[in-house]
């Protein structure tokens, strides 16, 4: 008996991509560390390009761990309706600011999910949401 599902495909059915979801998040952090918002924005969907990062106030950022989110990926259509594929990546990062806080953070280490989508089969992975 065969089952066919219509709609979004989970990442396991992916074809070869230029960057994996993990590599896309790693590149995003590379440019965040470099305080290069223009390049960071190449890894996010349009409505995330307006995020304030307080880059001038940030004194330290380190990507500590990065791994596939696997079972922890709970998709919410409110983030993006009808992506071709979606997944999440779990990251742990440490961030510090001049005055001990900025961009919604206090100095410290955070463990977050980064949710990514592919709009079409040929498109790149883009970050659509992040958080706890």
Q: How far apart are CA 83 and CA 7, in angstroms?
A: 8
- Is 42 contained in some domain? yes
- Please tell me the predicted confidence (pLDDT) of residue 73: 78
- Is 10 contained in some domain? no
Q: What proportion of the chain, given as a percentage, has pLDDT over 90? A: 73
User: What CATH number is associated with residue 37?
Assistant: 3.10.450.100
- Please tell me the predicted confidence (pLDDT) of residue 75: 84
Helix, strand, coil share (%) of the chain residues, nearest 5: 20, 35, 40
- Is 9 contained in some domain? no
Instruction: Give pLDDT tens digits for 1-40.
Output: 343 334 445 554 444 548 999 999 999 999 999 999 999 9
Q: Provide the number of structural domains found in the chain.
A: 1
Q: Cβ neighbours of residue 74 under 8 Å, at least 6 residues apart?
A: none
- 92 versus 76: the higher-pLDDT residue is 92
- Please tell me the predicted confidence (pLDDT) of residue 7: 45
- Is 2 contained in some domain? no
- Please tell me the predicted confidence (pLDDT) of residue 81: 87
Q: How far apart are CA 110 and CA 127, in angstroms?
A: 17
Q: How far apart are CA 46 and CA 128, in angstroms?
A: 9
- Is 8 contained in some domain? no
Tell me the whole-structure pTM to 2 decimals.
0.84
Q: How far apart are CA 91 and CA 104, in angstroms?
A: 17
Q: How far apart are CA 44 and CA 57, in angstroms?
A: 22
- Is 49 contained in some domain? yes
Domain carrying residue 125: 17-131
- Please tell me the predicted confidence (pLDDT) of residue 11: 52
- Is 12 contained in some domain? no
- Average model confidence (pLDDT) across the chain: 87
- Is 5 contained in some domain? no
Yes or no: say if 120 and 104 are a contact pair by the CB < 8 Å rule.
no
């Amino acid at each position: 008996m065969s089952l066919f599902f219509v709609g979004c495909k989970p990442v396991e059915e992916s074809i070869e991509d230029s960057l994996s979801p993990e590599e896309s998040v790693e590149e995003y952090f590379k440019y965040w560390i470099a305080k290069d918002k223009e390049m960071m924005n190449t890894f996010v969907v349009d409505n995330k390009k307006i995020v304030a990062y307080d880059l001038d106030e940030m004194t330290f950022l380190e990507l500590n761990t990065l791994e596939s989110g696997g079972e922890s990926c709970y998709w919410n259509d409110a983030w993006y309706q009808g992506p071709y594929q979606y997944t999440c990546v779990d990251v742990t990062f440490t961030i510090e600011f001049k005055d001990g806080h900025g961009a919604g953070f206090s100095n410290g280490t955070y463990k977050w999910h980064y949710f990514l989508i592919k709009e079409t089969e040929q498109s790149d992975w883009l970050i659509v949401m992040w958080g706890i």
